Amino acid sequence: MTATKDDELSSRIRKLLERELACDVAEIADDTPLVSSGLLDSVSIAFLLSAIEETEGIIIPDESLDIRDFETVTRMKELVAKYSASTSAQCADR
């Protein structure tokens, strides 16, 4: 992922976090713990997952979900990149 696409993805994830957490996320770094710090709980993660899937046009299979993928913005970007690549490959196969 190029730096620009990476920055754009970070921005989109931060907007989703801001909406979900109802707070200013400007001070949340890409490596700030979100789950272990209590900023995100299971309900927040469920809403966030749905918003990420909708915004990014991806589907993350339930059996692939791991709470650690929501621990940081960086982990969420990696999750999106993984399933974006998977979705692109499936479309190319058609």
Please count the structural domains in the chain.
1
Nearest to 13 by CA among 27, 2, 1, 25: 25
23 — pLDDT class (breaks 50, 70, 90): confident
Asked whether residue 1 is assigned to any structural domain, the reply reads no
Phi-psi region of 38 (alpha: psi -120 to 50; beta: other; left: phi over 0): left
Planar angle of CA 88, 85, 32, nearest 5 degrees: 140
Specify if 41 maps to a domain.
Answer: yes
Q: Give the pTM.
A: 0.84
pLDDT digits (tens, 9 = 90+) for 36-48: 999 999 999 999 9
Residue 44: inside a domain: yes
Of all residues in the chain, what percent carry a pLDDT higher than 90? 71
What letter represents residue 8's amino acid? Answer: E
Range of the domain at 74: 8-20+32-93
> Which residue's entry shows tokens 């969420």?
76
Please report the pLDDT score of residue 21 as a whole number: 85
